[in-house]
Homo-oligomer: A and B are copies of this chain.
Amino acid sequence: LVIEANGFAPGHITCFFQICDAPIDPLLKGSKGAGFSIKHGVITRVQVTPSNHSSVEISINGKSCDAKVTQTVAGLALDLALQKHGQEYDLKIRQEMQIPVGAGFGASGAAALSTSLALNHALNLGLTKNKSAQLAHIAEVTHKSGLGDVIAQNEGGVEIRIWPGAPGYGHIDIIPSACNFAVVCGSVGKLETREVLSNPEKRKKINEAGDRLVKELLKDASIDNLISLSKKFTMQTGLASQTIINTIKSLEDSGFNYCSMVMLGQSVFCFVSEKDSKNVCDIIKECMPNGVVFISKIDNIGARLI
């Protein structure tokens, strides 16, 4: 008796943020800020078999691996299943990553969230979408791999994170948009999240700017304002490398102004009409010759079973 279920969670790009990790309760830890979810994300396929002794097998893009965040989600789901059904299970979890890992696109959050949704269904846990997403949030916060991605990815769209916390605890609101544009993303790799989040001076700069910009965005919740505040954050926090600064400058020089840095990654994004998206790709590739470049769209559905 094997039961299967498939989950998807969108990738997520943070434009600016404030770290809110003071509470002890992982459900209350999180971040304020703003960002958006993209149609490139993570697909997770789970197979669940009753057994005498629980086990978890994870593969990513076909390769067996020890993904800590997903592993933690699986452990939490198995605990709930044991409580509810008095039964242990063997879990096979296969993940397909459509986004670069560790480059600011919310890969670990998307992996965790698609896993929790799929396991909730396959293990018949009967959790709501928020409760199921809380497993993913707890796993992310525990491993310090993210703070605000899960609540944003659970909801989708272009979001403002008004109050920090897990889905059902934090508050989120959406910037209305027809989303009829492409999102071009470019990345040359990692910017160490854990290092940035634990450096007191960087934290101070980030938190002062992030807090102020959320208030400014709420006064005029438009895409124009989001982009302009994102650039302010990038400049005020000094998180951008010379490559990022040059790429943004090149895009602006060609008239593509709806661009900024992806937080936290050596990465950029640009909102552009579908017809100009190829052109924007070429500009980014020129500035990031060894980088990864891809074209996506805003995802305004959020995490879901597929």
Contacts and interface: CB of A to CB of B under 8 A. Distances in A.
A175 B127 CA distance: 8
Contacts of A85: none
A126 B301 contact: no
Interface stretch (A51-59, A141-149, A219-227, A246-254): A219-227
Interface in A163-213: 168, 171, 173-179
Contacts of A301: 300-301
Contacts of A305: 176-178
A124 B6 CA distance: 40
Contact of A126 (B129, B168, B220): B220
Interface in A125-149: 126-132
A306 interface: yes
Contacts of A121: 176
Contacts of A129: 157, 173-176
Nearest to A120: B176
B221 A127 contact: yes
Contact of A128 (B117, B120, B126, B175): B175
A173 B178 contact: no
A160 interface: yes
Contacts of A168: 171, 173
A129 B177 CA distance: 9
Contacts of A219: 126
Contacts of A222: 124, 126
A68 interface: no
Nearest to A171: B168
Contacts of A101: none
A175 B117 CA distance: 11
Interface string A266-306: 00000000000000000000000000000000001100111
B126 A304 contact: no
A3 interface: no
A218 interface: yes
Nearest to A174: B129
B304 A178 contact: yes
Interface of A: 6, 117, 120-121, 124, 126-132, 157, 160, 168, 171, 173-179, 218-222, 225, 300-301, 304-306
Given A131-B221, A178-B306, 18 more contacts: A124-B222, A126-B219, A126-B220, A128-B160, A128-B173, A128-B174, A128-B221, A129-B176, A130-B173, A168-B171, A168-B173, A176-B304, A177-B305, A178-B305, A179-B304, A300-B301, A300-B304, A301-B301
